[in-house]
Amino acid sequence: MASFDIVSKVDPQTLENAVNTAQKELQTRYDLRDTKGGIELNKKENTILLSSENSMRLKSLEDILLGRVVKQGIDGTSLDFSADEQPSGALVKKTIKVRAGVDKEFGRKIIKAIKDAKVKVEAQMQDDQVRVSAKKIDDLQAAIAVLRKADIGLPLQFVNMKS
């Protein structure tokens, strides 16, 4: 049986480059020159910490970071901006998670999208990835085409194609 895996990964080196260029842009921007705080990458927790004096400048930091991430070739949906801002003394902080792996919620969305398309494949969750298998490679390619058109809300990569 032919199969492939659906994963969601972000290259850590590319992400670090994006954060570094965002930090450099923060230092050169006139409107953000006197800003306390900044942008910090936590590699162990796979998060990015934004901090600034007020919510407006924090929103500018988000825009700078998102722009730099997209210019580095990372899909913007791999960053989870849904966390709320936390006041911390004179600063406002926001922690942005970098999505890595396909969790159960997104796994269900992927499997549902494949089943709704009525492609002759079998999909199953395996830890932080989805394994799709079929008798023909053409069916697998049809499943990939369906997932590329579907709006899952997560950047997907298709790896380990085996025939």
Q: What pLDDT does residue 68 have?
A: 92
Q: Rounding to the nearest 10 degrees, give the CA dihedral for residues 159, 152, 56, 72.
A: 20
Q: What pLDDT does residue 13 have?
A: 92
Instruction: Look up residue 135 and give its amino acid.
Output: K
Three-class DSSP labels, 67-100: HHHHHCCCCHHHEECCCCCEEECCEEEEEEEECC
What is the C-alpha to C-alpha distance for residues 163 and 139, in angstroms, rounded to an integer?
12
Condensed to tens digits (0 to 9), the pLDDT of residues 62-86 reads: 888 899 999 998 888 888 888 888 8
Average pLDDT, the chain: 86
Q: What pLDDT does residue 79 have?
A: 87
Neighbour tally for 68: CB within 10 Å: 22
Helix (H) or strand (E) holding 15: helix 12-28
The token pair at 159 is 């790896």
Place of tokens 């997907």: 156
Condensed to tens digits (0 to 9), the pLDDT of residues 88-140 reads: 778 888 889 988 888 888 888 888 888 888 888 888 888 888 888 888 888 88
Report residue 2's pLDDT band, with 50, 70 and 90 as the boundaries: confident
What is the C-alpha to C-alpha distance for residues 88 and 17, in angstroms, rounded to an integer?
27
